Chain A
Amino acid sequence: MEDGREKKKPPSPKFCINDHVDILVEILRRLDGDTLAVAACVCRLWHSITRHDSLWESLCFRHVPSPPPSGIKPIVLALGGYKRLYMLCLRPVLNRLSRFGLRDRVDHVQLTLSLFCVDYYERLGGGGGKLGESSASSSSLMFLCRPVNV
């Protein structure tokens, strides 16, 4: 038994981001939509964090110059949440209307909210109009999902 063997240095505490969820949330909150979606594939913890609607809330209004009107949050939550708003409406709208100026972003958001509301109404079964289909399906936003001729 050699005493000369060097004692192992106690392992320096490694910093693991997963131990600090609050910092993780702050970082993820600042990502753009596509990166956030990629982050959701990293591990289960990250996936569960990205499901929080608050992350998507800051994403939705990040590029709008003026703060969103007060009272918007309960409405968005009632209509389906920020993540759905972003993925279904805001992202395609902002992409397609990118040639409009920053000043018009507020109007884009208004228009998006209206379309989001129509989507909610159709999911309630308000759209109707499909032969032989009684289930609620939201189809009036499908034009946002079609490939765009840019």
Chain B
Amino acid sequence: MVAVRLLRLAGVPILQQLHIEQALLRTDSQNWLVVNDGSSVPAIVMGISGKAEELVHIDKAIEAKVNVIKRFSGGGTVVVDENTVFSTLIMNAASLPHVECYPRPIMRWTESVLQPIFCPYGNFRLACHDYVFDENKFGGNAQAITKQRWLHHTSFLWDFEDKRMALLQHPARVPPYRKGREHLQFLLRLKDLMPLRSAFLRQLETAVARQGFELQEASMEEVAAILNKEHLQTTRIIDL
């Protein structure tokens, strides 16, 4: 059975989580599932091509003391805090020979992995690379791909604060299913559908294990050793 190292985190700030992920992707050769139950430090996180002046109300972010981070993966801008649940898969393409190491096949596979979790609660699907129920978004996805190894991470909106979401500008590129709606109108809180946050976290692990993988719990000591290896580290807080 193919092994997947399981790293359970709780309240780890998203900047630290992203540093861990980039190190695991670039310096380690094992498969990983990282689950972080909330970011204790709220932040706005842009994808690799994001420009803060186009995506964020900078003056409001400064006033709210919310950092803007540029991450190493693609995708859009998310607001994260203690009510965001994160899951990240880092896989060797060889461990999934039927999944081509390109963005769309990877996302189709991850959608299929999560279907059993969400289908009981509504019409779950991947819409323009977001996780939605009908046409309401509850999860944002992004990926990084390197040398037959890929990372897919998701931020799930267990809950969110309207005033933090208001720190984001209306982006130039929006998915068609948004249909001109304001941000708050097209987002959905998972807590309004699913009974228990702790159960959801466990289901994320079970969903991966159901694919035939053996989850092996990892420690922060092991991760610290990986972080110390020399590697390309590009995730950073943007100077506003």
A binds B: no
Which residues from chain A sit less than 8 Å from chain B, CB to CB? none
